Chain A
Amino acid sequence: NAGVTQTPKFRVLKTGQSMTLLCAQDMNHEYMYWYRQDPGMGLRLIHYSVGEGTTAKGEVPDGYNVSRLKKQNFLLGLESAAPSQTSVYFCASSYGWEQYFGPGTRLTVT
């Protein structure tokens, strides 16, 4: 039982490049979330999903897209990376209220 896993752990992008972050959970959770953590800002919700095939915007969705084609996976895409997207990205999942977090992906955009 791996819980919530994230791929990759680290990535460096140049401005304008694209990439996809993968989140996977093996707990059969319906809800999945993407947060970003910035110094002095805490964690903020980017997008979330309440079930397979559904996605919705969170607090800071601009510049990101998401997809939930399979219940266990939640993908976060950056189509054209910007330096403002330098951050640590956390995925989380939940069945009820309690959320479980992945180990994070540290992304740097130069």
Chain B
Amino acid sequence: GIQVEQSPPDLILQEGANSTLRCNFSDSVNNLQWFHQNPWGQLINLFYIPSGTKQNGRLSATTVATERYSLLYISSSQTTDSGVYFCAVGHSYNQGGKLIFGQGTELSVKP
């Protein structure tokens, strides 16, 4: 089945720093989503981005589908950005278009 790998696994930043998180996937996808799991465990939708570039405030994402990777950029990080960032892909209509999750990047932003 399709493999999803995220890097780095852990990241510690000082408040105000910028960061780039990467997601590699092993096959073509119809869906790619980025989520933030906050310290309370909630999964927050950040981007639906099977291809192209999107921006939302301090966050932006780019997916290069032909090269099978996606990048999540966080600029001017804040302590509230702490948590785990997941990339998840949808490969086919098999199993209802289920999402296959990467292992996540755990981000800690220090004041």
Contacts and interface: CB of A to CB of B under 8 A. Distances in A.
B33 A98 contact: yes
A109 B48 CA distance: 35
Contact of B96 (A31, A42, A100, A104): A31
Interface residues of B, number: 22
Given A43-B101, A97-B50, A104-B41, A58 B33 contact: no
B80 interface: no
Nearest to B102: A42
Nearest to A40: B103
Contacts of A50: 96
A97 B30 contact: yes
B43 A48 contact: no
A101 B45 contact: yes
A45 B89 CA distance: 13
B96 A106 contact: no
A88 interface: yes
A103 B96 contact: no
Contacts of A92: 99
Interface string B72-106: 00000000000000101010000111110111100
Given A33-B96, A42-B102, A101-B45, 13 more contacts: A43-B99, A56-B95, A58-B95, A59-B98, A92-B99, A97-B31, A97-B90, A98-B31, A98-B33, A99-B99, A101-B43, A104-B41, A106-B41
Interface of B: 30-31, 33, 35, 41-43, 45, 48, 50, 86, 88, 90, 95-99, 101-104
Interface of A: 31, 33, 35, 40, 42-43, 45, 48-50, 56, 58-59, 88, 90, 92, 94, 97-101, 103-104, 106
